[in-house]
Amino acid sequence: MNKRNPIILNKKTTALLIIDIQEKILGVMQHPKRVVKNTIKLIEGFKILDLPIFYTEQYPKGLGETEKSIKEALSDLEAVQKLSFSCSGAGDLFKQMKDKGITQIVVAGIESHVCVQQTVLDLLADKFQVNLAVDAVSSRNKIDYKTAIRRMNKHGAEVTTTEAILFELLEVCGTNEFKKISKIIK
**Full set of structural domains in the chain with CATH:** 14-185 (3.40.50.850)
Are 113 and 107 within 8 A, CB to CB?
no
User: What is the spatial distance between Cα 115 and Cα 84, in angstroms, rounded to a whole number?
Assistant: 8
H or E stretch covering 104: strand 104-110
pLDDT digits (tens, 9 = 90+) for 7-28: 999 999 999 999 999 988 998 9
Average model confidence (pLDDT) for the chain? 94
User: pLDDT value at position 1?
Assistant: 60
Strand order in the sheet with 80-82: 80-82, 53-58, 14-19, 104-110, 129-138, 158-160
Give me the mean pLDDT over the 97-120 stretch. Answer: 97
Give me the mean pLDDT over the 52-59 stretch. Answer: 95
